[in-house]
Structures are given as structure tokens and as C-alpha cells.
Structure 1
Amino acid sequence: MKNAAFIYSQEQQSYRFSSDHPFNQKRLDLTYDLLNKCNAIQNEDLFTPRMATEEELLLIHDKDYVNAVKLASIGELKTSIATNYGIGTDDTPMFPNMHEAASLLVGGTLTAVDLVMQGKYLHACNLSGGLHHGFKGRASGFCIYNDSSIAIEYMRKNYNARVLYVDTDAHHGDGVQWAFYDDHDVCTLSIHETGRFLFPGTGNINERGSGKGYGYSVNIPVDAFTEDESWLHAYRTSLREVAEFFKPDVIITQNGADSHYYDPLTHLCSTIEIYREIPKLAHEIAHDFCEGKWIAVGGGGYDIWRVVPRAWSMLWLEMSENRIANGPLPEEWLQKWQPVAPIELPTTWEDSLPIYPEIPRKKEISEKNALTVEKALSHLRNEMRKQKGSF
């Protein structure tokens, strides 16, 4: 069995709302080129994404909604109807061929799923995916079709898998959570900036699932201005405990890169170092609980020049067990992209610290986050105690 597969195609750039929209898939090219300049991707590990079929889209989405997206793709959906489906908004405007573009992103994630679940690769990565705000019958937050939700249902249907979904985007993974809120075969863990200040405003610790799914939705909303140490404490504590509680067959991670201080849409204060650590633990969990089965998708990330290429490259480098993300970035990459970048590019894998002034409330924020983690995991710990007591 081979180690890691990378799903990539220039056609993934077709998911493009407008030239000034913050969701900019140029970040895929920047990341792929950085990895290429590092000689970190081999041709044998590259796979072209396929288009998701309508039947696959309907695993999660309503037929009426898919039909509306198709009409929007050819400019035949009335604006008054489009807004009922969450498209034609400032966040998720209509664009030509949007159905095909969104279906390709879903198909990329399904390509990754099949490579892993059929035992061809241990791990697979589709950075064009991670569109976690898409709902059954509505687009939301830059997301048309929800590739992660479709992939999870696809794995359940075709591979009878128990799936752990881990979302480290700064925005709550609401679309995936609600899709499986009453399901005990899917566990969702989302670590995100509190919804008091940030879209979509959900992801409170008391959102724990319902019915048979109670206890299988775990949310860790961290405070604005959270820094590396506190963020990583929340991540390491929760992921290990959730995995021990749920015992998944496969892990799918959503790797939004928008918790960094430089990100223009969020209010967290992490550095690039959390993106070195996030995939390390995911990798461990995959091997400890899932015989290595790990699928990774992208997500948010709106500083496409300074943050996303390094963060997503670190994900692939960990996945492919290539530990080269230290010291200077490749000079060839800098020479290619600096002339077209609107800001000065970093010259090293590491951030040149400090990147922001000292946070005066650091101790208070860290203590509050630690308490949030304890509260969010309390029901899991109680359940684990009950299980141990029954033997």
C-alpha cells in the first residue's frame, strides 16, 4: 500500500465567484507550486479529480436545490428564487458553470475517499475541498455543495464506515454538524472561533447532537485573540479524547487555514506553528485508531499569499512523511510569486516573530478556553466512565 495521494487539477480553479471575492482558489496553485519547488510531490502520487455524479450530490443535497444550482450555472435562475437557496448573495454569488465547478470539488474529495477506503493509499489529500457550510437545500458562506458531508455519507453507504470528522477552520463546521446531528455512526469535532463574533454564529458547547446522535457532536469555541499555546491545548486534548470515545474506522480532517493572525476575516492570533502541529496529531490518531485511514480536505484561508501555501504544504509534508518544512522557502518559489504578490511574501517556513503586539488578556483568554474544553468534553468523560464501570 502506498503512503499518500494528492488530488489536484488546474480545473479546480474554476470554482471562482469573482476577481475580488475573498475565496480565491489561486491558493491551490501557490501551494502546489511550493510543494513542487520542494520536490515534495511525485507524479505517481498525483491524481486528477473526477466530477461527482448527481446521485452522489443527492446523498446530502435536495434535488430541487441541485436543479437550482444547475439553472444558476447557465444564467437561468431568477434572483428572487436564487436567494431562497442561498445563492446570488454577496457571500455566494452565482457564476457560470458553478454546478460543474462545485461538483468537481466534491468529486476530488470522493476520489481521495476511494483511494483510501479501497486500500490503495493510506492517506489522501484534496485541498480544493472542505466546503463545510453547505446545507441540504441551501448554499452558505462561500460553499455550494458540501463535499465533506457527501464524502461521509458516501463512506457510510459504500464502506460501512464509522467516520470521525475533525474541523479546525476558524469558522464552525455547521453544515457537516447538522447533516449528522442525530447520527451515532458519525462524530463531528469542530474547534473554531466563538460564534459571538464570527460567522456562522453556531458551534456552542451545548450543541451535542440529538436522539441517537447525542454526544457525537463536539464543539470547542475558543475566544477571539486566542494564541498558539491555548489553541493547541484545546486541539490536542479534545481530539485524543474524542477518538478514544468514538473509535472511528476513518478520519477526515478539514484544514481551514484562517486561524492565523494574518487572516483578514477572523480574530484569532495563531502563528504558522499550529499548522505544523495540526496534521501531526491527526496522523497519529489515524494510525492509532483507523489503521492509517486519513482523508484531508482544505477549507477557509484568506491570506492566500503568506499563510495558506505554507500551512497546506505542511499538511501534505506530514501526510507524506516528508519533514522538510524548516528554514528558508525555495528561492525559485519566491522569485516566481513575489512579482505578482500584493504583499511581501515570507522567506522562511516559520513566521518572523513577533507578528503582532502582546495580547494583554492572554492569561484570561487561555483560562477561559481551558474551561470551555473541560465543559465540552464532560459528557464524553462521563460516558467513558460508565463504559469502564460496566465491565
Structure 2
Amino acid sequence: MISIVYHPDYLKYCFGPEHPFSPLRLEMLWTLLEALGDRPTPCQPAAASRNEVLQVHTEAYVARVEAASQGEAVLDARAFGLDTPDVPIFLDMDYATRLQVGGTLCGARLIAEGQARMVLQLGGGFHHAHPNRAAGFCIYNDLSIAIRALTRAGLRIAYIDLDVHHADGVQAIHYHEDTVLTISLHETGQYLFPGTGAINEIGEGRGQGFSLNLPLQPFTEDESYLEVFERVVPHALTMFQPDVLVVQCGADAHFQDPLADLLLTTHAYEQLFRRLKALADEHTGGRALFTLGGGYDFDATVRVWTLLYLILQDRPLLERLPSSWRLDWEQRLEHPLTPTLHDHKRPLSVTPTRRAQIALQNLRTAQRLIETVTRYWYGIA
């Protein structure tokens, strides 16, 4: 059994009805778990304190978020990444964000204090937030705030990011640290926000060799993605010897997602989640903190996160979703949903020749990355 962290007020993290980062994803997930008869009794976190947020973010930035949260005019808001199409201002945004930060911190503390080994935080994953600015739908970086709490408890952290977008905020915050290994698998920044995450971004100073990026080609499919994962992640964990895994489980690499171009299916996600669980058992005695993240096709995202929940809970995977739940949400969303937990259709695929080219490019990327960083790993204890 794992510990679940969730609060109904997570739904208050809302940029408006037309924004792709919608709280409806969490509402759909929670009601699906209810319909499955498997709704957990979660740990309901308190909002992170201001001082906890300041462990990662600057005073000037937090002050702007607080002012905007109260409806005050912030003339330089855009200099701090606020009041933009990606991060529009909404009332009480400071509380809504600190609550989700509090959830990820709650999971970290449960692990650090020995009260839980594996934790699933049904929220968070705000990996684009930087110390002094918001970005990419992210206001405060819950992941780095939790990682900072774990490293201050004397623990070595391996951070693994499955979101289709590069984990630029988490990487930047820990770029000079040798107690945090960051691994990001993402669509190459040549084509996708935030435009970073090349293989030569490997860390600086004491952190050199501890930032690993796998920029993948558009239209990467399951087999290539899983091959690259296996080439890099287990080897990196063996070399780094972490005490805890922190995993961001964005669902936007799925082929239905409208904001990116990778072509993963739910079958790939099932394999990834089972593999991560096994890697945690192998390298950290099962200590791992999982969060959610991106995912902008409601149908695909909720099914991916339900897979995550069931796999981490060691529950059997159902074949079909409850019809009452599906019909209710089809009426609310005004479009059909997939009736099965796994994908009901296959992605539009590239030609066999192009698929082979993509797989070869991805494999070469993984090989170059390993060659680049291996020399920095000697002497890790």
C-alpha cells in the first residue's frame, strides 16, 4: 500500500475555463476512483508556509504573487512571468499554489520521517517554475521545494521527469548540486516549449554530470521511448545511488495530447510506471514520491493517471471504465470518451522508414548523453 496525498481545494488552482491546465482533470480522476469503488482516504495537506516557498523562490517574486493574488495591480507582473497567456492572474492564486506545494512537501516528509515509503501526490508537478518567475502554467515549484526538504534531511534525490516538456525549472534550481540527479525525458526543445533540455546541459560546478536530458524527436513511439529510458535511467541510478526517487508523471507525451508531438500509448505508460516502481524497490528500498503534471487531453490524461494509481497500489487493471462515470463526463464535456482503460485506438503513425530514423536519432542521443556524463560519475559513493 502507498500513501495518497490530495485535497479538494486542489481544484482552486484554476486559470479559467478556456485554459488547458484545467482542474477538471483532477475532478475526473477523483470521481473515476470513486466509480471504481477504490477511492482512497488521502492525507489532506496544509498549504506550504511562506518560509517554505522561500526555500526556493525569491522574496521579490513571492511578493508579486501575493499581491496579484489579492487583486492588487502589479505593474511589473510580466517581468516575473505573471499576467501572461500561460500564467494569467486569478484571485487567491497564492493559496491555491501553496496548497499543492504543501501536498508535495507532505509526501516528502512522510518519506523522510519513515512514515511512508511510496507516496502518490494527486496534484503538483509544477516543474517550469523558476526561483524568480512563473512559466508554463507553473507558479511555485513544488517539486524543488520538496526536493530541497529531502536534501536538507541528508537524502540523495534522483528526480525523473516524464512530462513531454523539459523540466527546466527543476533543472535550473539544482544545476549546481551534487546531491540531486535530474533526468528529463522530453520532446526536443528545437520544436517545443520551453526550448531547453539539450544533452549538453549537464550541470555546473559540483553539479556537473548530474543533469541528464533526453531530448526526443517528434513522433517518437513506444518502443523507441522505452529503449532510451532503459539505456539511461537504470544506469544513472546505479551510478548515483539515490535514497529517494521523485517522479513527475506528466501525461502529455500521449499521442492524443494537443500540445506536443510524441506518440506514446497507455501501454507504454503502464510499462514505465511498473518499471519505475521496480527501480525504486531496487535502488531506494521503495522510497519514491510521485506527482502528477501536464496532460491536456482529458480522456488520455485521466486514463494515464488511473493506470499510475492502480499500478502503485498493486491493483488489477480493469478493462472497461464504469459506464455511468463515462456517460456523465461525456455529457459534461460534450464529446465522447474512450470506454476502456487502455487506448481504444492506435496513434496515427509515421512510415516505417521514418520510424526507424527517429528511433536511431533517439538512440544516438542516449548514447551521446551517457558518453558525455559518465566521466563525471567516478568517485560517487
Alignment TM class, shorter chain as reference: over 0.9
Report Cα offsets for 1:129-155 as digits up to 9, x if no partner.
000000001001110000001000011
Aligned partner (choices 313, 317, 320) of residue 313 of structure 2: 320
Count the aligned residue pairs.
380
1:120 aligns with 2:115: yes
TM-score, normalisation: structure 1: 0.94
Aligned partner of 2:163 in structure 1 is 169
For residues 203 and 12 of structure 1, the distance between their equivalents in structure 2, rounded to whole angstroms, comes to 29
Q: Does 1:37 align with 2:35?
A: yes
Aligned partner of 1:347 in structure 2 is: 339
What value does the CA root-mean-square deviation take over the aligned residues? 1.6
Distance 1:343 1:91 in 2: 25
User: Aligned residue for 1:336?
Assistant: 328
> Within the alignment, does 1:75 sit opposite 2:79 as a pair?
no
Partner of 1:340, secondary structure, is helix
Do the aligned partners of residues 138 and 42 (structure 1) sit closer, same or farther apart at CA in structure 2, a change above 3 Å counting?
Answer: closer
* 2:324 aligned partner, one-letter code: E
Matched, 1:28 2:26: yes
Deviations 1:304-346 (A, max 9, x none): 1x11111111111111111x22411122321321211232100
Q: Could you give the per-residue CA deviations for residues 16-75 of structure 1, whole angstroms, max 9, x where no partner exists? A: 1111001001111111222222233343xx111210001100110001111110000011
Contact 1:40 1:317 (8 Å CA) reproduced: no
- Measured in 1, the distance between the counterparts of 2:76 and 2:379 equals 50
Which of the residues 348, 355, 359 maps onto 1:362? 355
Deviations 1:135-184 (A, max 9, x none): 00100111000000100001112x21101100010000000001010110
Instruction: Tell me whether 1:149 sits opposite 2:144 in the alignment.
Output: yes
How far apart are 1:358 and its partner, in Å? 4.0
Partner of 1:61: 57
- Which residue does the alignment assign to 2:95? 100
Match of 1:228 among 222, 246, 250: 222
User: Which stretches in structure 2 are left out of the alignment for 5+ residues?
Assistant: none
Name the SS of the counterpart of 1:274 in structure 2.
helix
Of the structure 1 ranges 337-346 and 240-249, higher mean CA displacement relative to structure 2 is found in 337-346
2:200 partner amino acid: N
Q: Does residue 132 of structure 1 match 2:124? A: no
In 1: Cα distance, 2:286 partner to 2:17 partner: 39
Match of 1:185 in 2: 179
| Match in the other structure for 2:8 | 10
Alignment of 1:208-219 (within 5 A): 208-219=202-213
Distance 1:301 1:321 in 2: 23
Deviation at 1:380, TM superposition (A): 4.1
Contact 1:263–1:302 (CA under 8 A) maintained in structure 2: yes
Structure 1 unaligned residues grouped into runs of 5+: none
2:81 is aligned to: 86
Pick the aligned partner of 2:198 from 182, 201, 204.
204
What is residue 262 of structure 1 aligned with on the other side? 256
Q: How does 1:352-391 map to 2 (within 5 A)?
A: 352-359=344-351, 361-382=354-375
DSSP-derived class of the 2:304 partner: helix
Contact 2:184/2:212 (CA < 8 Å) preserved in 1? yes
3-state SS, counterpart of residue 159 of structure 2: strand
Structure 2 Cα separation of the partners of residues 22 and 107 of structure 1: 23
Q: Kindly report structure 1 stretches of 4+ aligned residues shifted beyond 3 Å.
A: 357-360, 379-384
How far off is 1:280 after superposition?
A: 1.0
Deviations 1:70-118 (A, max 9, x none): 000011132x310111100111011100100110010010111112222
Distance 2:172 2:67 in 1: 26
Aligned residue in 1 for 2:294: 300
**Aligned AA for 2:307?**
M
Q: Would the aligned equivalents of 2:176 and 2:205 in 1 still touch at CA under 8 Å?
A: yes
Corresponding letter in the other structure for 1:321: D
- Superposed CA offset, 1:329-379 (max 9, x none): 122321321211232100111212323244451110001001001111113
SS at match of 2:87: coil
